[in-house]
């Protein structure tokens, strides 16, 4: 069985980061090892959340694993905490990167043209460095604009996305994928670029007019789980886009009208059979 390490915060209530990665990657058939970077009472879209930074746990936990001879088939990072923590995680990559370890970095820090409350430009620069260590990166357009120094645009064309992918590629990752990309009216999806082949990949799905928290984490976790079960990165992105769109639609149909996260629990059984 493949073993995936995922490093991100645990928001106790809120359905994002580890509370999505753990069930989704497990359901897709990989052992999922977690390294929580912080414990929050809820994600940061709630008011007055508590947050306990766990930076001082990263090194001792990693050292213990090393002494046990643990190895990982993939390391997947999401929402982290501080600039110092990113340095610790870079070190962890170096200590645990084997010949076949795939590193997937989702530089979670911004959306809709804005940085999340906890972050600043130093954090953006550090995330750009972390992306340089990865095999695959999956930023949204806001995160990519911040990391590449490009202007954030709500309206754009393919040339803008190609320029953005070229600049992301310069950060150093093997495959750069932009998420939340809309190339046609009423559609949304991904556009990726693979350094080795010089090829682009575009996938567009129906766009659903609803914004829920944690959908980026659902997308990335699904990609990781699908790649671990043998899918090519393009198929993994396509399935993840389809699964995320379907889960948003199912959530919209919930009469309880959940606002803080999506009903992925209802759709996980379908994910397992998706091709
Ligand atoms: O879904 C991304 C995410 C993860 N973790 C925390 C967050 C967010 C987005 O705001 O606040 C704590």
Reported as a single tens digit per residue, the pLDDT across 114-154 is 999 889 999 999 999 999 999 999 999 999 999 999 999 99
- Give the domain 3-272 fold: 3.40.1190
Inter-residue contact 222 to 237 (CB < 8 Å): no
Q: Is the CB of 9 under 6 A from ligand 1?
A: yes
Q: Is the CB of 119 under 6 A from ligand 1?
A: no
List the residue whose alpha carbon is closest to atom 12 of ligand 1. Answer: 43
Which ligand 1 atom sits nearest the alpha carbon of residue 20?
1
User: Of all residues in the chain, what percent carry a pLDDT higher than 90?
Assistant: 97
Does 230 score more than 90 pLDDT? yes
Per-residue pLDDT tens digits for 167-215: 999 999 999 999 999 999 999 999 999 999 999 999 999 999 888 999 9
CB-count exposure of residue 61 (10 Å: 0-12, 13-18, 19+) = middle
Q: What is the pTM of this model?
A: 0.98
How far, in whole angstroms, is CA 127 from its chain's centroid? 12
Among 47, 76, 116, 140, which is best to mutate for testing ligand 1, by the most ligand atoms less than 8 A from CB? 116
Among 41, 44, 81, which is best to mutate for testing ligand 1, by the most ligand atoms less than 8 A from CB? 44
Characterize 6-27 residue by residue with b for buried, 16 or more Cβ atoms within 10 angstroms of its Cβ, and e for exposed: bbbbbbeebbbbbbbbbbbbeb
- What's the CA-to-centroid distance between 16 and ligand 1, angstroms? 6
Q: Is the CB of 79 under 6 A from ligand 1?
A: yes
Instruction: Give the closest residue to 215 by CA, choosing from 175, 188, 184.
Output: 188
What is the pLDDT, as a whole number, of residue 217? 98
Written in H, E and C, the secondary structure of 127-189 is HHHHHCCCCEECCEHHHHHHHHCCCCCCCCCHHHHHHHHHHHHHHCCCEEEEEEECCCCCEEE
Question: What span, in angstroms and rounded, lies between the C-alpha atoms of 225 and 4?
Answer: 9
Q: Is the CB of 16 under 6 A from ligand 1?
A: yes
- What's the CA-to-centroid distance between 17 and ligand 1, angstroms? 6
Cα Dmax for the chain: 53
Per-residue pLDDT tens digits for 157-174: 999 999 999 999 999 999
Under the banding of pLDDT at 50, 70 and 90, the label for residue 91 is: very high
Which ligand 1 atom sits nearest the alpha carbon of residue 108?
2
């Amino acid at each position: 069985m493949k073993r995936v390490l995922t490093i991100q915060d645990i928001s106790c209530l809120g359905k994002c980061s580890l509370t999505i990665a753990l069930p989704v990657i497990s359901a897709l058939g990989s052992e999922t090892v977690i390294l929580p970077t912080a414990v929050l009472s809820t994600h940061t879209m709630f008011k007055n959340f508590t947050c306990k930074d766990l930076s001082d746990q990263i090194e001792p936990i990693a050292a213990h694993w090393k002494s046990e001879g643990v190895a990982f088939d993939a390391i997947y990072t999401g929402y982290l905490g501080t600039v110092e923590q990113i340095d610790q995680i870079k070190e962890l990559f170096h200590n645990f990167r084997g010949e076949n370890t795939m590193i997937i970095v989702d530089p979670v820090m911004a959306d809709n043209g804005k940085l999340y409350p906890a972050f600043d430009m130093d954090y953006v620069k550090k995330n750009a460095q972390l992306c340089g260590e990865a095999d695959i990166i999956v930023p949204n357009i806001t995160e990519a604009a911040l990391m590449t120094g490009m202007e954030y645009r709500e309206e754009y064309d393919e040339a803008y996305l190609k320029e953005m992918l070229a600049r992301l590629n310069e950060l150093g990752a093997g495959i750069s994928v932009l998420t939340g990309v809309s190339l046609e009216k009423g559609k949304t999806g991904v556009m990726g670029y693979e350094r080795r082949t010089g090829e682009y990949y575009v996938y567009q799905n129906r766009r659903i007019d609803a914004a829920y928290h944690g959908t980026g984490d659902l997308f990335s976790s699904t990609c990781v789980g699908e790649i671990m079960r043998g899918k090519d990165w393009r198929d993994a992105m396509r399935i993840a886009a389809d699964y995320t769109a379907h889960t948003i639609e199912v959530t919209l149909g919930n009469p309880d009208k959940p606002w803080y996260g999506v009903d992925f629990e209802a759709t996980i059984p379908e994910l397992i059979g998706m091709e």
